[in-house]
């Protein structure tokens, strides 16, 4: 069950989100440049745009798998 209370406030509304547990390592960023952005100061990342097609969904899924602390989440809702 997703922890909706721990979502970073800058996330775009939708299926994918990054939690406040993000440590800003950046390992996810190269996988989904169209969808993931860093906060001012690059201390954390967030989903700034939900995927709009299957290619972007696949890229966000790759980013999710690349996250070493599992802070990129998929709430299971259909996009």
Q: Are 66 and 36 in contact (CB under 8 A)?
A: no
Alpha carbon distance 1, 51 (integer Å): 21
Predicted TM-score (pTM) of the model is 0.88
Q: State the total domains in the chain.
A: 1
Where would I find the H helices in 1-79? Answer: 54-66
Domain CATH number, residue 14: 3.30.70.20
Q: Are 78 and 15 in contact (CB under 8 A)?
A: yes
The 10s digit of each residue's pLDDT in 37-61 is 999 888 999 999 999 999 999 999 9
Q: Are 57 and 79 in contact (CB under 8 A)?
A: yes
Instruction: Name the average pLDDT for the chain.
Output: 91
78 inside domain: no
Alpha carbon distance 73, 14 (integer Å): 11
The 10s digit of each residue's pLDDT in 8-36 is 999 999 999 999 999 999 999 999 999 99
């Amino acid at each position: 069950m997703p922890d909706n209370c721990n979502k970073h406030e800058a996330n775009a509304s939708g299926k994918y989100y990054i939690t406040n547990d993000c440590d800003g390592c950046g390992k996810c960023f190269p996988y989904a440049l169209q969808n993931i952005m860093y906060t001012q100061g690059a201390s954390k990342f967030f989903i700034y745009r939900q995927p709009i097609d299957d290619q972007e969904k696949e890229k966000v899924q790759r980013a999710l798998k690349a996250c070493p602390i599992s802070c990129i989440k998929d709430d299971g809702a259909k996009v």
